[in-house]
Each structure stands twice: as structure tokens, then as C-alpha cells.
């Protein structure tokens, strides 16, 4: 008996099914192969790296001298009286109080532990790199090797701005670290830290590079990682999978004081540049041009024709400084330093600081709607000079009256007197006597001095009115003004 499936014999059905399968297999064999997903890589094994680099990592303890109460070692009278009352006799070795000789107590100092940190050996003859904040205010620095030998270290030099320090121990044939190429470090790459968190020597933690060139406002842009860093890790090395040091563990982001998943390291190339100077001279020499700078907002950049928000806005120029001699003015926006584009104020600060004092360079500045180049000879300094903080000139009686142009903006302005120009060291400008409506909303106030309106410099009320009249009434009006020692921009938005 033959079974039927929907009008066909089972034999015929199986034959047809077999033919269909054969055709399908032939199609699949002729079709291009589907790309195979590579197998996920296994987690790295850091054991070999620890054996390789660990011996060159050191623990650092610091001691500071503090004034003690002095004392002669005898128990004071109040404590002796306590023992007499409750025990019926003075403490053994302390006689009953009698007349004390009138002798001055000698001031005494005692040494107390100050803190712990980490470091790593740069050279076989004992130069060790760490953080400047690890050894700050220390009267004694003790370096402990992995073989438990301990040495008193000599401070070669410390640079607070970069947070790099170098100390020296008297030893030879020491294991040393291998310095890596920071330009090859990639975001997402595995890295490892070795240090002494909370005094726990040679503790190893690992993670990945979260970001490079992280601008935290420090002198150098930092490497951000998720490697666990805690107090005591400071000064220890950040190591890549090739066993090379790529950074110095320096900071954490924390609201509790402990590790919260974000840590920062000083790039090793910057640290080596600093350490080379410290080893050569004991100090770091940096460039200085003598300006105070700020950022440029998107709205201001668009209103003055700069385009995108970039550059460093010069808020003040130190009289007699390198920038002053080069012709830099308040309100200039520095967009290039030599061949380097300046995107943020930090870019300029770091570029100038890394320039050798005495070297010449070119500043490209945006002023009054156009670009010009200025030649500057970089001076030497440890920090950007700041304005002297002169007081505002005393106000003189003014007969200022609101003009039609100023009234539309909410401004009443007056010409500067010759005495005011001399005291402020200004060529021109107009003084705001009153600000209301749109001007007040823009942040302008009485006593401010307007230097330019819509990329047009103004030195009198007449020039101010002319500049306002030329402005596009439908767009925000940029105003460069000076308040005290600082110049900045404001955008006056017309009422709708």
C-alpha cells in the first residue's frame, strides 16, 4: 500500500523533496561565503608586564618637621595633682612639686609622617620621577625599592605647574623603565598602573584609555583612563601592553575623595621634557608674553565675523611685556601662534610656555574684522603675568546726554577726559554714564569704557554714534568694552 500526500504518492513526494534539497545545496555552494566574525579577543594577561616593569617602580614616603610643645619630659603639675588625689601619691619618678628653676624651654622639632606616594626609576644611577605634590613641603624623602631596600632621596627639582618632580638616590645598577611614544597611544587601549595606594606597595590595577588630550585647565593636557587610582598611586607609572611608560598617574575626579572611575595621567613626553630641565638646572624655564586671555563664545565669533568660536581673547596686556612691545591690544583674538592654530586659550598658554625664552615667533590676531601678523620675542616667566589691579579713575562731572543712537541701545555715553585717558593708558573710547534696557541685559553698566562697536574702534561720542548708525539693526551688536583692567565683548540684542 502506498501513502498519499495531497494527491501524490509518498515515493514521488520524497523524490521531489530530495531534488529540491540538492538544488538548494547547489545554490548555497555557489553563493559567496558569508564573512565570518572574528573571535573576540581574550583579556590581556598583565603578569609578564608586572614582572618586567614592577622592579623599577618605587614607593615614596615623606616626613616633615613640625614644632612640638617642647617640655622637659616631666609631668606637669595638674597631672601630678591628679595622681595624688586618686592614688594618694605622686607618680613614681615624679617628686612632689616644688619651686621650679626659672629656665626657658627650648623650642623643639619632631618629625612626623607626611604622606605616601609612588615613583619610577629613570636611570640606573638613581634618578626617580614622581609628582611634585607627593614631595611638597617634605623635610625628608624616603624611597623604597621592591627588594625592600630603603634610601634617603635628594630633591633634584620640582615643578608645580606640570606636577613633575625628580629625586635622586645613591644606588647603582638599578632597574629602569622604558619610555613609550605618546603619539602611538590610542583611545580604548589597555593600560596598567603600579603604585602604593593607601601605602599598599606594588599594587597593580588596569583599565583602558578613555580619552587623550583631556583639557582640565592644567599646563598640559592629560590622559584620561578608568584605571583605579587612589591616594598613594600619585607619581606611579601608567604602562601600555608593550611595557612602556606612557604617563604619570596624577589626579582623580572624585566627589568622595576616593576613586570614582575617572583618573588622569601626565603624558610621559611632557614629563620627560620637564625632568630633563630639572636634572640639568633644577628648575623649569618657560616662555611668557604677558597677556591675560579668555575664551570666545559662538555668538561673539559670529557677530564680529570670526566665524566659529576659536582663538584666545586678549583681556589685558601687561605694560612693557613682550605682547605690549609686539603691538598686541586688548580685544585682539589670537588665532595662531607660529604655525599652530589656537582653538582655546589653553592652546596658547601651553604653546607659549613650551617656547624657549628669547625665541621669536609670530602671533596671528583678529582685530576689527581683519587678520594681521605680529612678531613677538618671548620672555621668561613661571606664570602668566597678571594686571596690576589699578583702581578705576575717579569720575568727573559729565554733561553727557543720551543721543538718538545710544538711546535705542539703552546707553548714555560721554567722551573720556585727557586725565582719564592718561590714567587708564587708553588712546580713546567712550565712558558709559548709564545703561538700561538692551544694554543692561547685555551686562553693560555705568563706568564701563566702550572701545569698539561692530568692529569699528571708537574714541569719541561722535564716532560711537557713527558706528551704531552703520550697524545692522536686525542683528545683535557686538561691543568691545573694558571694565577695570579687563576687556571683553558684549552682545546687545535689539528689542523685538
Using CA atoms, how far apart are residues 321 and 263, in angstroms rounded to an integer? 38
- Catalytic residue, from 8, 133, 459, 466: name it: 133
Catalytic residue flag (residue 8) = no
Using CA atoms, how far apart are residues 177 and 123, in angstroms rounded to an integer? 8
Would you call 56 helix, strand, or coil by DSSP? helix
Question: Is the alpha carbon torsion for 373, 375, 378, 383 positive or negative?
Answer: negative
Using CA atoms, how far apart are residues 240 and 251, in angstroms rounded to an integer? 18
Q: Are strands 150-159 and 164-168 parallel, antiparallel or unpaired?
A: antiparallel
Using CA atoms, how far apart are residues 297 and 295, in angstroms rounded to an integer? 7
Q: From the CB of residue 283, how many other CB atoms can be counted at a distance below 10 Å?
A: 12
Catalytic residue flag (residue 163) = yes
Q: What is the largest CA-CA distance in the chain?
A: 134
- Catalytic residue, from 162, 210, 234, 321: name it: 234
Cell of 117: 606616594
Is 8 part of any known ligand binding site?
no
Instruction: Write the DSSP assignment of 435-494 as a string of letters.
Output: E-HHHHHTT--TT-EEEEETTEE-SSHHHHHHHHHHS-TTSPEEEEEEETTEEEEEEEPP
* DSSP H or E segment with residue 325: helix 322-326
Is 117 part of any known ligand binding site?
no
Cell of 386: 597678571
- Catalytic residue, from 163, 332, 347, 415: name it: 163
Cell of 14: 520524497
Strand partners, 9: 4
Using CA atoms, how far apart are residues 467 and 453, in angstroms rounded to an integer? 6
Is 236 part of any known ligand binding site?
no
Using CA atoms, how far apart are residues 422 and 462, in angstroms rounded to an integer? 21
Catalytic residue flag (residue 315) = no
DSSP class of residue 198 equals G
Q: Which residue has the cell 541701545?
A: 409
Cell of 273: 621634557
Is 331 part of any known ligand binding site?
no
Query: Are the C-beta atoms of 255 and 299 separated by less than 8 Å?
Result: no
Q: Are strands 244-252 and 178-179 parallel, antiparallel or unpaired?
A: parallel
Is 230 part of any known ligand binding site?
no
Query: Are the C-beta atoms of 234 and 115 separated by less than 8 Å?
Result: no
Binding site, annotated residues for substrate: 133, 163, 232-234
Just list the catalytic residues: 133, 163, 234
Binding site, annotated residues: 133, 163, 232-234
Amino acid at each position: 500500500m502506498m501513502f498519499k500526500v495531497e494527491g501524490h504518492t509518498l515515493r514521488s513526494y520524497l523524490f521531489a523533496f530530495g531534488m529540491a534539497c540538492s538544488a538548494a545545496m547547489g545554490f548555497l555552494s555557489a553563493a559567496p561565503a558569508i564573512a565570518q566574525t572574528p573571535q573576540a579577543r581574550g583579556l590581556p594577561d598583565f603578569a609578564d608586564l608586572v614582572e618586567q616593569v614592577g622592579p623599577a617602580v618605587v614607593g615614596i614616603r615623606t616626613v616633615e618637621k613640625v614644632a612640638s610643645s617642647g617640655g622637659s619630659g616631666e609631668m606637669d603639675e595638674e597631672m601630678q595633682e591628679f595622681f595624688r588625689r586618686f592614688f594618694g601619691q605622686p607618680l613614681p619618678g615624679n617628686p612632689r612639686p616644688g619651686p621650679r628653676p626659672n629656665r626657658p624651654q627650648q623650642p623643639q622639632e619632631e618629625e612626623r609622617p607626611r604622606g605616601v606616594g609612588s615613583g619610577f626609576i629613570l636611570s640606573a644611577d638613581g634618578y626617580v620621577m614622581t609628582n611634585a605634590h607627593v614631595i611638597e613641603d617634605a623635610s625628608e624623602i624616603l624611597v623604597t625599592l621592591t627588594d625592600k631596600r630603603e634610601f634617603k632621596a635628594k630633591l633634584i627639582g620640582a615643578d608645580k605647574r606640570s606636577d613633575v618632580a625628580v629625586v635622586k638616590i645613591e644606588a647603582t645598577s638599578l632597574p629602569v623603565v622604558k619610555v613609550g611614544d605618546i603619539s602611538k597611544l590610542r583611545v580604548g587601549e589597555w593600560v596598567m598602573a603600579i603604585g602604593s595606594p593607601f601605602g599598599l606597595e606594588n599594587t597593580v590595577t588596569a583599565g583602558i584609555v578613555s580619552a587623550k588630550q583631556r583639557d582640565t585647565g592644567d599646563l598640559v593636557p592629560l590622559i584620561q583612563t578608568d584605571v583605579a587610582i587612589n591616594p598613594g598611586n600619585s607619581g606611579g607609572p601608567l604602562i601600555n601592553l608593550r611595557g612602556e611608560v606612557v604617563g604619570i598617574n596624577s589626579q582623580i575626579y572624585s566627589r568622595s575623595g576616593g576613586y570614582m572611575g575617572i583618573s588622569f595621567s601626565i603624558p610621559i613626553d611632557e614629563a620627560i621634557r620637564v625632568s630633563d630641565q630639572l636634572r640639568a638646572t633644577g628648575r623649569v624655564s618657560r616662555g611668557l608674553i604677558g597677556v591675560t586671555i579668555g575664551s570666545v563664545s559662538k555668538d561673539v565669533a559670529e557677530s564680529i565675523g570670526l566665524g566659529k568660536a576659536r582663538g584666545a581673547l586678549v583681556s589685558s596686556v601687561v605694560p612693557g611685556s613682550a605682547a605690549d612691545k609686539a603691538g598686541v591690544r586688548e580685544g585682539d583674538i589670537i588665532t595662531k601662534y607660529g604655525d599652530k592654530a589656537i582653538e582655546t586659550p589653553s592652546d596658547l598658554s601651553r604653546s607659549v610656555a613650551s617656547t624657549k625664552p628669547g625665541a621669536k615667533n609670530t602671533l596671528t590676531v583678529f582685530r576689527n574684522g581683519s587678520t594681521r601678523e605680529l612678531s613677538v620675542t618671548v620672555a621668561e616667566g613661571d606664570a602668566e603675568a597678571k594686571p596690576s589691579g589699578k583702581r578705576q579713575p575717579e569720575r568727573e562731572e559729565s554733561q553727557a546726554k543720551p543721543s538718538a543712537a545710544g538711546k535705542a541701545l539703552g546707553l548714555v555715553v560721554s567722551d573720556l577726559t585727557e586725565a582719564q585717558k592718561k590714567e587708564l593708558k587708553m588712546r580713546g573710547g567712550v565712558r558709559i554714564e548709564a545703561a538700561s534696557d538692551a544694554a543692561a541685559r547685555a551686562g553693560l553698566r555705568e563706568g564701563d569704557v566702550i572701545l569698539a562697536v561692530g568692529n569699528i574702534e571708537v574714541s569719541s561720542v561722535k564716532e560711537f554714534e557713527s558706528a551704531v548708525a552703520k550697524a545692522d539693526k536686525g542683528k545683535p551688536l557686538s561691543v568691545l568694552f573694558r571694565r577695570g583692567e579687563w576687556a571683553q565683548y558684549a552682545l546687545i540684542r535689539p528689542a523685538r
